Amino acid sequence: MASHGLTYDGCNFFRQRLVLSTLSGKRVKIKNIRSKDDDPGLRDFEASFIRLLDKVTNGSRIEINQTGTVLFYQPGLLHGGPIEHDCNMQRSIGYYLEALLMLAPFMKTSVKATLRGVTNDPSDPTVDMLKSTALPVMKQFGIDGEGFELKMANRIVEAARGVLNQFIPDIYIHTDHMKGPNSGKSPGFGLTLVAETLNGSFLSAEMASTPQGQGDPILPEDLGRSCAKLLLEEVYRGGCVDSSNQSLALLLMTLGQQDVSKVLLGPLSPYTIEFLRHIRDFFQIMFKIEVQKSSEDSRKGGDKILMTCVGVGYSNINKTIK
């Protein structure tokens, strides 16, 4: 590793690299950001994410070259406190909030963030999903957070029930219907489903309607059925954490006490595999990975993966500064 910190190529896994840089205190340089594109450099949503990092830290040094194809980031100290941020409309609030949840436990003072923007897009978790699954994961690690209320719409509900009631009778789906200007800048509909296991784990799936003018429109009934099947897929994959929260759990294990931590997961997502590589880069931590084959009984779900590591004993240096 070079003395000036870590260097990466390209825009992939942009948030992972900046979040882990902030937590480890290691400088990072990201070059060749879309350098071969007709429109090279950082996108507006990535620049907005950098501004958010700047708001929750003190003394960060950020340098971007003229074309936006090279970023140098020297992290400051996480200070938290009240912040307001207008999230860029290219990505939903979940894109920003997901990273903020990873940083929030390690700030000098509790962060009170007001994020404004669109509530869902096809590629990022909604606030509802993070409230229902990420916060319980954090509570398992002794980190408590205030919840959000989960609400949603009727034609979708009946279609989702049609699939899920074949397996379990007690299903509760809340609806929240807004008209006109109250629906914000992203009119449409979406559904977040959460399954709670007997031992208190939460598995989730969600879908949102296609934004107007972007691809084929989707019927609410089809969305409800498809989302219910996605949830069943998560249940089949199994593990203590669903695929969208694997990296959060592995990060908290990495930063935990200098003791052995174990978590049982379903198959690792490509995003999680890259996250493990970055954890090795920034914290020199490698996980032991053991595949546990599923039994012949298909009701037990698919193969599971037992992840084991010894934490770095991360101390929140930001807390000690008066």
Express each pLDDT in 151-190 by its tens digit. 374 555 666 666 766 666 666 665 665 554 555 555 567 7
Q: Is the pLDDT of residue 1 over 70?
A: no
Decide which of 163 and 68 is more confident. 68
- For 80, phi then psi, to 5°, come to 70, -140
Q: Is the dihedral of CA 27, 263, 165, 133 positive or negative?
A: negative
- Dmax (CA) for the chain in angstroms is 59
Decide which of 51 and 181 is more confident. 51
**Predicted confidence band at 118 (pLDDT cuts at 50, 70, 90)?**
confident
The residue to which tokens 């053991």 are assigned: 290
Tell how strand 288-292 and strand 260-265 pair up.
unpaired
Tell how strand 109-116 and strand 80-86 pair up.
parallel
- Across the range 51-75, mean pLDDT stands at 95
pLDDT of the residue at 69: 95
**Predicted confidence band at 9 (pLDDT cuts at 50, 70, 90)?**
very high
CB contact at 8 A, 269 and 37: no
- Across the range 97-125, mean pLDDT stands at 86
**Predicted confidence band at 33 (pLDDT cuts at 50, 70, 90)?**
very high
How many other C-beta atoms can be found within 10 angstroms of the C-beta atom of residue 50? 17
Kindly list the structural domains of the chain, giving each domain's residue range(s) and its CATH number in brackets, ordered by start: 1-118 (3.65.10.20), 122-237 (no CATH), 240-321 (no CATH)
- For 114, phi then psi, to 5°, come to -110, 110
Q: Is the pLDDT of residue 296 over 70?
A: no
Query: From the centroid of its chain, how far is CA 178?
Result: 26
The residue to which tokens 């999230």 are assigned: 87
Decide which of 256 and 174 is more confident. 256
Q: Is the pLDDT of residue 80 over 70?
A: yes
Q: What's the token pair of residue 290?
A: 């053991």
- Across the range 263-291, mean pLDDT stands at 93
pLDDT of the residue at 185: 53
Calculate the average pLDDT of the chain: 82
Q: Is the pLDDT of residue 2 over 50?
A: no
181-211 pLDDT tens trace: 555 555 567 777 777 777 777 878 777 777 6
CB contact at 8 A, 103 and 73: no
Label residue 143 exposed, middle or buried (CB < 10 Å: 0-12, 13-18, 19+).
Answer: middle
Which of 15-29, 169-183, 202-216, 247-261 has the lowest average pLDDT? 169-183
pTM > 0.85: yes or no: no
